[in-house]
Structure 1
Amino acid sequence: MKTKSPVRPSLPLSVYLLLAILLATAPIICLLSVVDSAVVRQELEANAEASRNQTESGIILAVNLVDAGLKLFDKTLDREMEDEFDLVIAEYERAGRDPGEMDLFRVREELGGGMDLYIIDEDGVIVNTTYPPDLGLDFRQMPDFYDRITEIRLGDSFAADRVVCGISSGELRKYAYMPSPDHRYLFELGLAGSEFQQYRTALKYREAARELVDENPDVVEIRIFDCLGEMIVGETHPDDGRRLEMVRQAYREKTVVEVENATAGELTRYVFIDMADLDYASDMSLVVELTYTTRRAEAKLAGMLDRHMGVLLIAFFCIGSLSALGAHHLTRPIRTLIEDADAIACGDLDHPIRVSGDREFVHLAESVSAMVGSLRETIRKTRESEEEIVRYSHVLEEQVRVRTAALEESNRAANLYLDIMGHDINNANNVANLYADLLQAELAGEPGAELLEKARKGLTKSIAIVHDVNTIQQVQGGVPLLRPIDLDAVIRAEIERYPAPITYAGTTVTILADDLLSEVFVNLIGNAVKHGGPAVEIAVRVEDRGEEVLVSVEDTGPGVPDAVKEHLFERMVRGTNSTAGTGLGLYICRMLAERYGGRIWADDRVEGRPEEGAAIRFTLQKVREEGCL
């Protein structure tokens, strides 16, 4: 017997050893490199974060220092403005405490013309003023400020505010407040002066933060916004709408909001500086927008990665060179052993094994030598066995040929007997049955007629048995040749053979079967008529279920007990009543259903109530549009 020679590996063992060493060391080297890169990345990120925190802490401190100085300047104007409210209150009393009757422009002239007057009602709305752009201004849109001025209106004392930008004018003004004697209104004075531009300028905040920003090379830009979202330091941007939302979020949440733009390599932080003071109505808090570049850190990280890649390549080269030398030395005895094994494989069983060196290889050489000796003995015995097998195979082939011929002769004899039974015996039965019918007509009403009836029934049963055997022979005779069959025509042809009333609605389905399909309906309808009694009602139903159809033959007879249903379609299983047949009819139905690619089972006509009649159901395969399954 020939055996396939084993397929040799495409690479020598030394190469596999080299690859194994590299695969063992490469993950360790790569892991160390990845860990070191992660540590460096964390250090770079930590340094950048520390630098940002230091810059932002310094900016917060510097802005608070500037604001403290400006607050001292703002207080120098408080006494002057408090004294001016006497004229406003006098005019309020003169007008009968009706703000609409107050001559605020006359009072403004008496105050020197440098202050604007405002009357704010209980709803926080300016109802009268010497500055028309602010008339109707509703402070309820600024809830915190509205709460503060409401508190001042309900109090009894003067309250000064800081120098802030006017909402409508945008110029710097010093505001102060005094409640009306009846607390219905709040009087407000707004002082505007050119000296504010000297001491109150946004550049002071920028100058305070510039030195800290210059020390951090990652800072690209700084902008400062007030509590109303107005930019007081910096330049405009095309996306200021989005940036203003971040400013308002930082002010609303009183925290730091961070937005990263990976594409541009920038990180923008909106830092809230809390400068609210309960002594003043206006909130001087600011939001500082700092834009940092992340490209410097990324450049450092990229350089570090390049250095790591160089180190990795050098390490792999060194390890590969040393591994190649070691693998070559380790595999030298194996190469010698392979050469000797190849010589033996070519038929030279007397070739010596030339292996020296380590003890393991010497043991291997001894084992190979022993194996070659055993191989010689095995070959000798194999040749002797082959000769014996050849002799036995010739004898076995002759026995198989003789027995095959005998089996074919037996099959021909069996088919001959079946043909004789199906033709000659069936003809004899039919002739005997015909004479029995004539004799029964002659003996009608006379003694012996009953015995003749039993003989005639026996002949009828014999005819049915022969018919069933012929049907089984046809079913088992070879590969079925199925073709499209009109199911409706088959069902109607079988219904017409029975006088009993049978309900059938008809169908248009074409199924795949052959001429033996009618035997299914012959047996099922015949059983329903035979076992159902004189008043039995029979129904044939066809349900279309996609690629197959479900056919049911139902009757109102005694039904099938649950214990019998499982074995009802087995060969030679008969019913339990007096009308039981040969036991082949339902077995033939099962064979034909499986022949057509379906299945058959017994069911209750009314589910769960077998005593109300039986239902035999089976499936058939439909013919597709192409004409085949």
Structure 2
Amino acid sequence: MAVKGLNRPVIPFMAYLLAAILLAMTPAICLIPLVDSVEVWQGLEANTRDLRAQTESGILLSMGLVDTGLKLFDNTLNHEMEEAFGPVVAEYERAEGNPGAMDLSRVREELDGRMEIYIINESGVIEYTTYLPELGYDFREIPYFYDRITEIRLGGFFSADRVVAGIPTGEFRKYAYLPSPDHRYLLELGLAPSEFHESRMALKYGDAVRELVNLNPEILKIRIFDCLGTRIVGEECPDDDRRLSLVRQAYRERTTLEVENATARELTRYLFVDLSDNDYASDMSMVVELTYTTKAAEEKVAGMFARQGGVLLFGFALIGCLCAVAMHSLIRPVRNFVEDVDLIASGDLDHPVRVGGSEELVHLGESVSAMVGSLKETIQRVRASEEAIIRHSHTLEEQVRERTADLEESNRMTTLLLDIMRHDISNANNVANLYADLLATEIEEEAEAELLRRAKAGLAKSIEIARDVNTIQHIEGGLPSPGPVDLDRIIRAEIERSPGARITYTGRPVEVLADDLLSEVFTNLIGNAVKFGGPEVGITIRVEELGEEVVVSVEDDGPGIPDAVKPRLFERLSRGTYKESGTGLGLYICRMLITRYGGEIRVEDRPEGGTAIRFSLRRAGTGGEP
């Protein structure tokens, strides 16, 4: 075969490879703007974190300064409240240490009605007070506060508290404490807010932090909560219950928590502001909730990536055009080569191979030409072999047809013999059983009667085998698809055919997917229960409707089934360990039928003794019906 193009200039394949490498490096250069974008994005994130840190640091500092100012103001009321304890202690001593005998209303009037009086017992409960809304409050609900006031009660010294919100009512008061002379009670005074409200309200936590918040455009809202989780600054939110749990967690753990809402593009941080002071019973610490928006930063990043992406797309488009031109020149000789090979592959083995370009392609064309020549010779040999194979296949097909005809004839003969055996053996068994019943009325001697009973038992087993073989033949021979069958009717019919059995059944009509052979399942299960449990065995049949399934249980209070037998109970020719064991086909047939109906069958032990055989059936009319 001639090879065209051998006189054309031969270009080494390395030249093409070098061009490909140069083109492959071009996209890498385009990645430089992408790297710059990533660096800018990282810098933007760092600036955002720094701004948040500065804002939060300023908030902590501002709240600390406001608390210091409020503390100075609160301390100006200490001397007045310490002197106010004089009438209270005098009244306690007049009542000889019995708070119930104290005239607290008179003492309150003596203090010009400006202070409320509280008497807290050793259990931390407000037992007596002039301010009834807080009567009976138990400070043990706030363990750290209860421990503090207990320390004051046992210590014997005056202790002033801060202006705080009353726990039961939320009203702001200036509180102070003094133990009773006998240390059995803690005396408490609460100065009404009207005495200091206007002066103290000049300092507010919200005003102190709002200026800092306004400097950070990413903050959407700010809220401040006290140690009890009460919101003192900010508006109510729809999900306040969830947020309140985070506030209490931040206060309990005395740390900062962070929650991100990717859907709303928001970041919420809960800052714990430690304002605790061992000089006061109340903890003034707070939790600041800051909600940041991430939309602005994300939009900046998205815009930056969009611009860089446009540049990259333009660069890739330009490089793609250059690559297309280069690849066209590179693959044109290859395309010609492929076209020639396709023509050869289609059967034109005399078509010449055109090759140009690299030296390697020229050598490849020569190799293909040599291969085509060898292929011609191989095809000739293959055709000769095909003719021999065709002749042999005709002979083999004839042998297969002969074997198939013999097998079909053998199958027909087997079926005929099974039908004859089932019919004739069944008739012979029935006649022999009838004569055995007649003979039983004539025999009087016990030995002869025992032999007759054994003969009848053998006949019964033979009848059972014939019935089982007949059932298996019906199943294996193919039956129509399962259809709607009244389960209640079949169960009641089987009960009527077993008059000597003690059967309990209280079902109602329900249709399942089965056929007339379903009665064989109940015949075998009831027969096994009577056979192994004796005529006095109690049998219970239950039907449970569970959606698209119906679960049937046949239970008895007989001797039960040994654990060693249960794993192979439903296998073919599997028998029990009792002398009454049958052919070993009954439960195997039950499993074949239930499986055919699309259900499952299993054996269980009854807690009160005995055996329970349970199987499931598909309910008709629920989508499982064919």
TM-score bin, normalised by smaller chain: 0.5 to 0.7
Structure 1 CA distance, aligned partners of 2:381 and 2:157? 125
Gap runs ≥5 in structure 1: 1-16, 412-471, 518-542, 550-599
State the partner residue of 1:106.
Answer: 106
Q: Structure 2 regions of 5+ residues with no counterpart?
A: 1-16, 437-451, 478-517, 525-570, 598-626
Residue 120 (structure 1) aligned with residue 120 (structure 2): yes
In the other structure, the counterpart of 1:424 is: none
> Letter of the aligned partner of 1:303 in structure 2?
G
Question: Which digits, 9 at most, give the CA deviation of each residue in 1:361-409, with x for residues without a partner?
Answer: 1212322343455567778x769x96x998x999x89x979xx99xx9x
**Aligned residue number for residue 332 of structure 2:** 332
Are 1:333 and 1:355, in contact at CA under 8 Å, matched by a contact in 2?
Answer: yes
Which one-letter code corresponds to 1:64 in the other structure? G
Task: Name the structure 2 match of 1:290.
Answer: 290
Q: Tell me, in whole angstroms, the C-alpha distance in 2 between the residues paired with 1:158 and 1:617.
A: 96
**Residues in 2 aligned to 1:155 and 1:389: alpha-carbon distance in whole angstroms:** 115
Cα distance in 1, alignment partners of residues 128 and 238 from structure 2:
39
Equivalences for residues 151-550 of structure 1 within 5 A: 151-167=151-167, 170-192=170-192, 194=194, 196-201=196-201, 204-338=204-338, 340=340, 353-371=353-371, 374=374, 476=410, 485=419, 489-493=423-427, 495=429, 501=455, 502-505=458-461, 506-507=463-464, 510-511=470-471
> Partner amino acid for 1:325?
V
RMSD of Structure 2 on Structure 1 (CA): 5.3
User: Once the two structures are superposed, what CA deviation does each residue of 1:249-284 show, in whole Å capped at 9, x if it has no partner?
Assistant: 322232233333333332222222121211111111
Contact 2:137-2:168 within 8 A present in 1 as well: no
Q: Aligned in 2, Cα 1:354/1:144: closer, same or farther, shift over 3 Å?
A: closer
Is the CA contact 2:82–2:158 (under 8 Å) kept in the aligned structure 1? yes
Tell me, in whole angstroms, the C-alpha distance in 2 between the residues paired with 1:191 and 1:62.
Answer: 27
Residues 416-454 of structure 1: CA deviation (Å, up to 9, x unaligned): xxxxxxxxxxxxxxxxxxxxxxxxxxxxxxxxxxxxxxx
Which residue of structure 1 lines up, in the alignment, with residue 564 of structure 2?
none
Q: Which amino acid is the alignment partner of residue 297 of structure 1?
A: A
| CA deviation vs aligned residue, 1:172-212 (integer Å, no higher than 9, x gap) | 32221111111112222222354632342286212221222
Task: Please tell me whether the aligned partners of residues 125 and 139 of structure 1 are also in contact (alpha carbons under 8 angstroms).
Answer: yes
Q: Which residue of 1 aligns with 2:141?
A: 141
State the SS of the aligned residue for 2:459: strand
Question: Would the aligned equivalents of 1:29 and 1:312 in 2 still touch at CA under 8 Å?
Answer: no
| Greater relative contact order (Cα < 8 A, sep 6+) | 2
Is the 8 Å Cα contact of residues 27 and 316 (structure 2) preserved in structure 1? no
Shift of 1:504: 1.6
**Offset of 1:29 from its aligned partner?**
10
Q: 1:622 to 1:36 in 2, by over 3 A?
A: same
Contact 2:70 2:203 in 1 (8 A): no
Q: Which amino acid aligns with 1:230?
A: T
Q: Cα distance 1:250–1:202, how it changes in 2: closer, same or farther (>3 A)?
A: farther
Query: For residue 174 of structure 2, what is the amino acid of its counterpart?
Result: K
- Contact kept? 1:91, 1:103, Cα under 8 Å: yes
| Equivalent position amino acid for 2:326 in 1 | G
Mapped to 1, the partners of 2:234 and 2:316 lie a distance apart of: 53
**Percent of aligned pairs sharing the same letter:** 54
For residues 386 and 91 of structure 2, the distance between their equivalents in structure 1, rounded to whole angstroms, comes to: 139
**CA gap 1:616/1:323 in 2 versus in 1, 3 angstroms:** same
Q: With structure 1 as the length reference, what TM-score do the two structures score?
A: 0.58
- Opposite residue 503 of structure 1, the aligned amino acid is L
TM-score normalised over the length of structure 2: 0.59
Deviation of 1:360 (Å): 0.5
Label 1:365 to 1:474 Cα distance change in 2 as closer, same or farther (>3 A).
Answer: closer
| Cα pair distance change 1:124/1:309, threshold 3 Å | same
Distance in 2, matches of 1:138 and 1:319, equals: 79
Distance across 1 between alignment mates of 2:289 and 2:224: 6
CA distance in 2, matches of 1:317, 1:104: 92
**SS of residue paired to 1:235:** coil
Matched AA of 1:91:
E
In the superposition, relative to structure 1, how do residues 375 and 184 fare at CA in structure 2: closer, same or farther (>3 Å)?
A: closer
Counterparts of 2:247 and 2:584 in 1: how far apart (Å)? 81
Q: Which amino acid aligns with 1:175?
A: Y
What is the identity, as a one-letter code, of the residue corresponding to 2:426?
R
Report the CA distance between 1:163 and its aligned residue.
Answer: 1.7
The letter of the residue matching 2:298 is E
Contact 1:178–1:188, Cα closer than 8 Å, also in 2: yes
Matched-pair contact (CA < 8 Å) for 1:173–1:190: yes
Q: Does 1:82 align with 2:16?
A: no
Cα distance change on mapping 1:356 and 1:63 into 2, 3 Å: same
Give how far 1:63 is off: 0.6
For the 8 Å contact 1:164–1:173, the answer to whether it is kept is: yes
